[in-house]
Amino acid sequence: MRRRTLLVIPFALALFAATGCGGQSVLAPENVEPAATPAAGALPWPAPADPLQLARDAGLVPRTKEFFDYHVHAHLDIFVNGEPVPIPAGLGIDTENPAVRHGQLEDGSDTYGGIDPPCKQPCISPLHTHDNTGVMHTESARSTPNRLGQLFTQWAVRLDQNCVGGYCRPEASVLVYVDGTLYDGDPAAIELTDGKEIAIVIGTPPEKIPASFAF
């Protein structure tokens, strides 16, 4: 097993470590029944072992480094029965590639990125997560917004108009909010434009639902 050296957090990652909290919220709906644990597709949802193939499955082209011609950030919150669901660090990144820097946030959780010099082979999708803060990074040479469904494909978690993972309507309440407004379309189609806050609420909601994120 290759030993990995902990590095100082790259500047871009350190910025999110310092600012990734706060934001506005809206009151949650009342009298929502708890979601039962499904037979398949229940939590936990860890980062998968084949990030680059899943990126290709999502219609994305992995590159040898981050590109910043089109650089935007959206944020994802997921709650199941009021509890936040971790969004894994390293979605869309080959974290085992030696050119990918590995650091830690102040809480000891992992960060990945800051690829310089480039990898010798493709190692990062243009849509990825550097850390576990829920920030979804689009770092691309093309100015085309990615979609939430592409992030979930890279996560190997089902997302469509009825289901998130194994939690499906009508057995479970599944609500999606965009910037604090209830969204009734296909969540997989939501464009990840800059500053967007997406909250997926499964079963009993938290007291308040995020409507923004302090990037």
86-95, 139-148, 182-191, 196-205: segment of lowest average pLDDT: 139-148
Q: Is the sign of the CA dihedral 157, 84, 27, 167 positive or negative?
A: positive
Give the residue from 162, 202, 211, 163 showing the smallest Cα distance to 82: 202
Model confidence pLDDT, tens digit, residues 169-186: 999 999 999 999 999 999
Residues with Cβ within 8 Å of residue 208, at least 6 apart in sequence: 25, 26, 27, 28
Rounded CA-CA distance 155/129 in Å is: 10
Model confidence pLDDT, tens digit, residues 32-84: 999 999 999 999 999 999 999 999 999 999 999 999 999 999 999 999 999 99
